[in-house]
Chains A and B, each alone.
Chain A
Amino acid sequence: MEALRIAFLHGLVAIALVGPLVWLAGSGRGRAAVVALALAGGVAGALFAYAPAGSRLPMETVLLKGGTAWAGLCLLLAVMDVTVLGTLRRRYPAVRLGMVLALAATILPLDGIDLVRQVRTLVFMKETSAPWAWAGLGLLAAAASGWLISWVFRRFGARRYATMWSYLLVAPVVRLAIQPSVIPNLESIVSRVAHDGMHVLVLLIQLPDHAYLSSGVWTAIGLVFMSTTGLLLNVAVYVGVAAFVLVRQASKPLPLREDENPAQRRRRWTTLKTQRRLTFLPIYVAMAMFAVLAYTTWAATGTPKTPTPATLPAGGIEVASLADGELHSYVFGRSSDKRVIAIHKPDGSYSVCLDACLVCPPDGYARFGTDLFCLYCGTPIPLGTVGQPGGCNPIPLTFTQSAGRLVFDQTQAEVAWQGANSGK
């Protein structure tokens, strides 16, 4: 039954996001085919994107950054709609279909990935494949609900008040409000692309990478990946789209029609005014949501906490000492000049890593809100990815947990520290 509930909610969100677009773009009997193709595109996209979307990140961070990426997509759509593509969309059904498919392939994988992941977890825990059947039923129920919603909309003539613009403004709000849990998948992809893209850019312009840049430069670069930056970017992009829509709507004249009388023209003008009011509504909702997110982000972050290195206990790190969820640092080795960090993460797992990464000089890490921060370059590392190897992440150590202690091989850790200390 849990799988049914999850699949039903995912299905509803998919319908809420793709349905209106199909509704606005399609027509007549072709609309059902467009819906089917859009869903098929979504499933294919989900399967394609499942592998790289690995980790689950802290909700607050990913909500903000995921929202940013989503708002960016909407901005792109808005630009597309006022350019030649918008004209082509209105004129040629094939272009409409292509846009819908492209959007479905962009939007739906997030739902698909999350759904597959949650159902697989249920299958693993319950040791039965029944959740897949329940999930299928849930999707069918969602499809039936979608049809019902569509019928109600048609019944009350809502088509008159819905525009592509209202869709663009509503979609991010729906995504932010109803289902933030799918954002981690988007966040994984966006962060990966942004991070790797930046390295490639630096190399392309033939600048030495990473450790050869000053810490000030890296601190500036790190700002790009901060949660607060994500929030500000999100607001900026959304306000940009909203302002664009406001200006466009406000300056849009009512086109004259030769075959209408003054009363019909008044009626059309009234409908347009209602459309505008409804278009602006999600702007207010989104602004309120951003305000709440800004407050919770600000309240959660506080000040950076740099751990004071303690001597590594002889029998290993005591699990009980990590119960506070804070970052702990220990010195080890013959000259006590090497450090490891350990943390009990929000998802319940433990991580033991060197207090250094593969690229920067080993200045170590501090905790700041839901991230670790590199004290050298300022790059934030979301807590959810601590323990994964590579790049700016602290170098993870293999450890065992026994008798309430986390134990790692100090000799191997010393070798790894040498590699870290030499930089790239």
Chain B
Amino acid sequence: MGAHEATTMGSGLLRLTGVSKYYGGTGALREVDCRVRRGEWVTIMGPSGSGKTTLLSIIGGLSRPSDGEVLFEGTDLTALNESQLARYRRENVGFIFQQHHLIPYLSALENVMMAQFLHSMPDEREAIAALRTVGLEHRLRHLPAQLSGGEQQRVGIARALINSPSLLLADEPTGSLDRENAQSIMEMLRDLRAAEEFTVVMVTHDPWVGEWGDRTILLEDGRAVTERTESV
């Protein structure tokens, strides 16, 4: 892999300066610095316990750093209160998780519409169009339990992108899928990104998945040790 669609990369979208996170006396992240430009696909890699998911949570406004500064479009996330952070997440960030985290008693369509509802208001036609984009127009009324793992992740992608976020955060999006489904999901993300021009920050421990990004940040023991630009 490694051949990716060239995207228009513009000004800085995200800048982390000296970001640390401590749980008690344990340092999960130690003075991490990094920048993400608009339209870029950045992969964060590293062994288990290196702080990948912690870093993603901080970028997504799900947790706060113990120290340091996180600037999103010039706004310091560490200075926002809870309601402002919720608004930041609602209007700017889409999340994809390894375990999908779909609501089990809502259909695929309703799961997507729930994200619309929390953002502003549901629009069924728009939600159907989003599920059609990920190839699930024939599974609209199915519950998550009635879908395969790959299909569930497609619903997760539709849900993450329904509110047109400028930043997509993906935590091991193919971790629970076989290679064939993983390939399909990654191609879909690549195509959607080319069409909608959002920025991707993806956490993975799989080198094959890492190659889909423009750039890789390697974390080790909470520190960003190396940075590598993928061949285009």
Q: Which residues on A are within 8 Å of B, measured CB to CB? A: 261-264, 266-267, 269-270, 273
* B221 on interface, CB distance cutoff 8 Å: no
Give 22 CB contacts A-B under 8 Å. A261-B164, A262-B123, A262-B126, A262-B164, A263-B116, A263-B119, A263-B120, A263-B163, A263-B164, A264-B164, A266-B116, A266-B119, A266-B120, A266-B121, A266-B123, A266-B126, A267-B120, A269-B120, A269-B121, A270-B120, A270-B121, A273-B121
Q: How far is the CA of A263 from the CA of B126 in the complex (A)?
A: 9
Chain B positions within 8 Å of A262 at CB level: 123, 126, 164
What residues of chain A lie closer than 8 Å to B164, measured between beta carbons? 261-264
- Please indicate the chain A residues that have their CB under 8 angstroms from the CB of B172 in the complex: none
CB-defined contacts of B120 to chain A, threshold 8 Å = 263, 266-267, 269-270
B136 in contact (CB, < 8 A): no
- The 3 A-B pairs with the shortest beta carbon distances in the complex, nearest first, are A266-B120, A261-B164, A263-B164
Q: Which residues of B contact A (CB under 8 A)?
A: 91, 116, 119-121, 123, 126, 162-164
13 more A-B contacts (CB under 8 A) besides A266-B116, A269-B120, A273-B121?
A261-B164, A262-B164, A263-B116, A263-B119, A263-B120, A263-B162, A263-B163, A266-B119, A266-B121, A266-B123, A266-B126, A267-B119, A270-B121
Of the listed residues B116, B119, B120, B163, the one surrounded by the most CB atoms of chain A closer than 10 A to its CB is B120
- Whole-angstrom CA separation of A418 from B163 in the bound complex: 86
The closest CB in chain A to the CB of B162 belongs to A263
- Give the complex CA separation of A296 and B224 in angstroms: 76
Rounded to whole Å, the gap between the CB of B166 and the closest CB of chain A is: 10
Closest to A271 in B: B120
- Roughly how many angstroms separate A270 CA and B122 CA in the complex, as a whole number? 10
Given the complex of chains A and B, what is the CA–CA distance between A266 and B162 in angstroms?
A: 11
List A contacts of B91 (CB < 8 A). Answer: 267
Considering only CB atoms, which chain B residue lies closest to A266 in the complex? B120
Most chain B CB within a 10 A radius of its CB, from A263, A267, A270, A273? A263
Measured CA separation A264–B116 after assembly (Å): 11
Please give, as numbers and ranges, the residues of chain B lying within 8 Å of A270 by CB-CB distance. Answer: 120-121
Closest to A269 in B: B121
Residues of B within 8 A of A273 (CB): 121
Minimum C-beta distance from B126 to chain A (A):
5
Contacting residues, chain B, for A266 (C-beta < 8 A): 116, 119-121, 123, 126
Q: Which residue of chain A has the shortest Cβ distance to B126 in the bound complex?
A: A262
- CB-nearest residue of chain B to A260: B164
Q: How far is the CA of A270 from the CA of B164 in the complex (A)?
A: 16
- Cα distance A270–B121 in the bound complex, in angstroms: 7
Cα–Cα distance between A264 and B126 once the two chains are bound (Å)? 13
Closest chain A residue to B83, Cβ basis: A156
A259 CB to closest chain B CB (Å) equals 12
Most-contacted residue by chain A among B121, B123, B126, B164 (CB, 10 A): B164
Residues from chain A with a CB closer than 8 A to the CB of B121 are 266, 269-270, 273
- Bound CA span A325–B107, Å: 75
User: Which chain A residue lies CB-closest to B91?
Assistant: A267
**Which residues from A are CB-within-8-Å of B116?**
263, 266
Residue ID in chain B nearest A268 by CB atoms: B120
> Hey, which chain A residues are within 8 Å of B126, CB to CB?
262, 266
A217 to B15, CA, bound (A): 82
| Residues from chain A with Cβ under 8 Å of B123 in the complex | 262, 266
User: What's the least CB distance linking B158 to chain A, in Å?
Assistant: 13
Residues of B within 8 A of A264 (CB): 164
Determine how close the nearest CB of chain B comes to the CB of A161; give it in whole angstroms.
Answer: 14
Give Cα A379 to B116, complex, Å: 63
Separation of A266 and B91 alpha carbons in the complex (Å): 11
Bound Cα distance from A190 to B123, whole angstroms? 52
Q: Which residues on B sit within 8 Å (CB–CB) of A269?
A: 120-121
Identify the interface centre among A261, A266, A269: most chain B CB within 10 Å of its CB.
A266
CA of A192 to CA of B120, assembled, Å: 53
CB closest chain-A residue, reference B163? A263
